[in-house]
Structure 1
Amino acid sequence: MNDIRQLALTCRDAARAVARLPTDAKNAMLRDMADQLLADAPAILEANAADMDAAREKGIGEAMLDRLRLDDARLAGVADALREVAALPDPVGMVTRRDTRPNGIAVERVRTPLGVVAMIYEARPNVTADAAALCLKAGNGVILRGGSEALRSNMAIAASLGKALERAGVPAAAVTIVEDLRRETMVALLQLTDIVDLAIPRGGEGLIRFVAEHARVPVIKHYKGVCHLYVDASADLDLALGLLVDGKVSRPSACNALETLLVHSDVAAQFLPRAAQALRAHGVELRGDEATRGLVADVVPATEADYDAEYLDLVIAVRVVGSLDEAIAHIRRHGSDHTEVIAARDPAAATAFVDALRSAVVMVNASSRFSDGGELGLGAEIGISTTRLHAYGPMGLEALTVERFVVRGEGQTRNLHR
């Protein structure tokens, strides 16, 4: 596996060049990348069309096809994300704490680049540009190992970005695409503890568990998104209905889509028939408990496995609960620490919901679809962490840096002249 090691070493050398760039130069480079992507749109979309055709021939499901698909609008969105990252404050060199000790030494906590980030992802060609933008703005190099379904798309995007890198005087290896997609090559990459500083897998639960089990480098993990909407007895039911439809229907293949609806028994008779009608108008299948089936006809009986499921499709599990505490207990048992939503007019109920759950994102009267780095003000998102390492929740620029100590003195010694 010397080839992957050499790729990683070359990326590390390029990362050092990125780390030296001043903020203005990084921002100009990212804006140039956005322009270059749009200039290369015909080639990128042609590559993506070939990937889509091959994926259909393999019988890949609609959820994965949706993640793979690029068009003019989506590519414009990718370019916009690059510009948004360019407009964000640069975390590199940021002093997060400053203190002067009794002996006169000045102690600072300063953000510094991680170094080399390995991205392992599936059929999401937008990740190629998003990850590159965030890693570069934070002063890092990035090694991109996408799925076989998106290889043509990823290579076309990386080639486009490489043109802007070279115009900025940065080696194109700062954004390195791994073309050898054998699993043993990925494992070798994940064990380069002397080169790779962090691995971020994005994709299905199987991929993430594989990465976590085989990596020797630190790994950001997010196994799945079992996101809940709880409609409290105090909820504005029109508002709750809007959150439900947006959260389930607007992009069901996304990890921030709703998978389970919990409804307080006091409002279930009013809310569930309306909810079923609205969801079914969009082709959503409902799987519910006995109480739900007593209020809505033709609901598929739900099993316990349904409440653990990340459908990533037009399917939702439904349960009627007798109290806020029962809703919280259900989420603790079946949730994935991703995103939870409460619809409630009662501030005490909302506060209790927020305080009781440790999920990375908790929403009060807002759609689960806002659980996204861009929507939360981070610019493009590098990934989501549901494990409590240095980052938790959607990860942006700051999560691609670490804090180190910078100490300034005037000759102070610790042990002499005490």
Structure 2
Amino acid sequence: MDIAKKAKEASYKIALSSTTVKNDALTYMAQALEDMKDDIISANQEDVSNARKNGLKEALIERLTLTEQRISGMIEGFLTLVDLPDPVGGGTIIKRPNGLTLLKERVPLGVIGIIYESRPNVTSDAAGLCIKSGNAVILRGGSEAINSNKAIVKALCSGLKRSGLPESCIQLIEDTDRERIQELFKMRDYVDVIIPRGGGALIKNVVENSKIPVIETGEGNCHIYVDEFADLPMAEKILINAKTSRPSVCNAAEKLLVHEKIAKDFLPDALLKLQKLGVEIRGCERTRKIYPNAIPIKDEDWPMEYLDFIIGVKVVDSIDEAIEHINRFGTRHSEAIVTKDYERANKFLAGVDAACVYVNASTRFTDGGEFGMGAEIGISTQKLHARGPMGLEELTTTKYLILGNGQIRE
């Protein structure tokens, strides 16, 4: 695959580029997005029209759609990256008794392959993060967003060209045939890491078939647990935000767990408000006795990521049952407790196994921009190298530079 070879060559050049050159590239790329905004929106409208003809769910069409506001957000993301510290080059100095000096330095990963679905703004975010961290990137978006992605990459490459960096630092696999992904999986000599960003089927395909190291990012079967000592108006506000503000993204709440002592006080009003906002309620037997409008939930629902106006509800006997349920069915993404009790909050924080665990806040904050990273390459739900929102530092690794004056090992 010529794209991979070109990316490898480009990665050596950008790895040696100064912070000034990379920041100039980001600034030019932001300007190119502004200049070509109308072309990008026109291409996106074509994708949205095709998606509707093909029967794509409205929640997924919402993820696909680009507006002027979203493009402005993409532009702002580049400018935010300019202001962030360069992650490359920082490190620590270690002095050894034999006179050797070790420099543990941060360096780019090299060539990053990113495979993702639906959301064309990922094209922009991923490219910006890779350029700032000194990496070349190969992008493979979903077929439903191909026209949008082509237009965005065209704009970004025009900005790269102005900066003097190789345009092959950012490349898009335009062939939407799935065989191209299988080819990419075998390019171990040229690609250093693959990052899948999408649903469970996509992630599973990458993990099981790639010969290149993979950083798993997240399916989000996220839970809100309303404790017996919760502030109920606060809990309702958090729940509605976490479920309905943007249900098609991985940090949206998919399940609601409620302590049995406050279930009768909390569920009727909270679930009615969700239902009026268009959310389908799927509940356990105890939930349905309190809120008869809920439909019976099935066993296969508990581990499911809906990405839609659907929520599963369960009444639990204790915080321990809530933690056990989350650790059994959650995807290690984002989990939240609503409680006024300090000890119970700490128990939840310590007991829940997830990248991000919240007390009295919406799971929707799990986002690189919200965490001050400018943007994110994805939400890592694994435990090696990176976990949670992946920003600039997570796109680097370390290299030891050893300085001596003739030392030999006895």
* Short-chain TM bin: over 0.9
Residue 222 of structure 1 corresponds to which residue in structure 2?
217
Equivalent of residue 25 in structure 2, options 14, 29, 42: 29
**1:209·1:223 contact (CA, 8 Å) conserved in 2?**
no
Q: Does 1:247 align with 2:242?
A: yes
Q: Does 1:135 align with 2:130?
A: yes
What per-residue deviation string (whole Å, max 9, x for no partner) do you get for residues 150-178 of structure 1?
A: 11110100010111101110111110111
Shift of 1:281: 2.3
Give the 5 Å matches for 1:349-360.
349-360=344-355
Q: Which residue identity is paired with 1:244?
A: L
**2:218·2:378 contact (CA, 8 Å) conserved in 1?**
no
- After TM superposition, the score normalised by the length of structure 1 is 0.96
**2:51·2:61 contact (CA, 8 Å) conserved in 1?**
yes
Q: Does 1:308 align with 2:303?
A: yes
After TM superposition, the runs of 4+ consecutive aligned structure 1 residues lying more than 4 A away are none
Shift of 1:256: 0.4
Q: Does 1:413 align with 2:399?
A: no
**2:114·2:197 contact (CA, 8 Å) conserved in 1?**
yes
Residue 10 of structure 2 corresponds to which residue in structure 1?
14
Cα distance in 1 for residues equivalent to 2:29 and 2:261: 54
Cα separation, partners in 2 of 1:313 and 1:84, compared to 1, 3 Å: same
Q: Does 1:371 align with 2:366?
A: yes
Q: Which residue identity is paired with 1:233?
A: E
Residue 171 of structure 1 corresponds to which residue in structure 2?
166
Q: Determine helix, strand or coil for the equivalent of 2:383.
A: coil
Shift of 1:12: 1.4
Residue 141 of structure 2 corresponds to which residue in structure 1?
146
What per-residue deviation string (whole Å, max 9, x for no partner) do you get for residues 240-290 of structure 1?
A: 111100000000000000000011111111111121122122111111112
Equivalent of residue 58 in structure 2, options 59, 62, 67: 62
Cα distance in 1 for residues equivalent to 2:161 and 2:378: 26
Shift of 1:340: 0.4
What per-residue deviation string (whole Å, max 9, x for no partner) do you get for residues 110-154 of structure 1?
A: 110011001111111111111100001000000111111111110
Cα distance in 2 for residues equivalent to 1:347 and 1:394: 26
Q: Does 1:256 align with 2:251?
A: yes
Cα distance in 1 for residues equivalent to 2:245 and 2:76: 20
Cα distance in 1 for residues equivalent to 2:297 and 2:173: 42
Residue 392 of structure 2 corresponds to which residue in structure 1?
397
Is 57-66 or 346-355 further displaced after alignment? 57-66
Residue 44 of structure 1 corresponds to which residue in structure 2?
40
Q: Which residue identity is paired with 1:155?
A: K
Cα distance in 2 for residues equivalent to 1:339 and 1:55: 29
Cα distance in 2 for residues equivalent to 1:181 and 1:299: 40
What per-residue deviation string (whole Å, max 9, x for no partner) do you get for residues 90-112 of structure 1?
A: 100011x3321222222232110
Equivalent pairs: percent with the same residue?
A: 47
Equivalent of residue 106 in structure 2, options 111, 121, 129: 111
Cα distance in 1 for residues equivalent to 2:143 and 2:120: 11
Q: Determine helix, strand or coil for the equivalent of 1:142.
A: strand
Q: How many residues align?
A: 410
Segments of structure 1 that go 5 or more residues without pairing to the other structure are none
Cα distance in 2 for residues equivalent to 1:366 and 1:410: 55
- After TM superposition, the score normalised by the length of structure 2 is 0.98
Cα distance in 1 for residues equivalent to 2:273 and 2:399: 52
Shift of 1:223: 5.2
Shift of 1:410: 2.6
Cα distance in 1 for residues equivalent to 2:11 and 2:227: 50
What root-mean-square deviation, in Å, do the aligned CA atoms of Structure 1 and Structure 2 show?
A: 1.2
Cα distance in 2 for residues equivalent to 1:333 and 1:204: 19
Give the 5 Å matches for 1:272-351.
272-351=267-346
**2:31·2:159 contact (CA, 8 Å) conserved in 1?**
no
Cα distance in 2 for residues equivalent to 1:83 and 1:281: 39
What per-residue deviation string (whole Å, max 9, x for no partner) do you get for residues 344-402 of structure 1?
A: 11111111111112201111111100011111122111012112221111111111100
Equivalent of residue 82 in structure 1, options 78, 83, 87: 78
Cα distance in 2 for residues equivalent to 1:380 and 1:16: 24
Q: Determine helix, strand or coil for the equivalent of 2:311.
A: strand
Q: Determine helix, strand or coil for the equivalent of 2:112.
A: strand
Residue 155 of structure 1 corresponds to which residue in structure 2?
150
Cα distance in 2 for residues equivalent to 1:346 and 1:151: 49
Q: Determine helix, strand or coil for the equivalent of 1:230.
A: strand
Cα distance in 2 for residues equivalent to 1:410 and 1:353: 53
Q: Does 1:381 align with 2:376?
A: yes
Cα distance in 1 for residues equivalent to 2:155 and 2:359: 41
Shift of 1:300: 0.8
Q: Which residue identity is paired with 2:23?
A: N
Q: Which residue identity is paired with 1:247?
A: A
What per-residue deviation string (whole Å, max 9, x for no partner) do you get for residues 316-349 of structure 1?
A: 0111111110100111111110110011111111
Cα distance in 1 for residues equivalent to 2:47 and 2:260: 47
Cα distance in 1 for residues equivalent to 2:57 and 2:294: 24
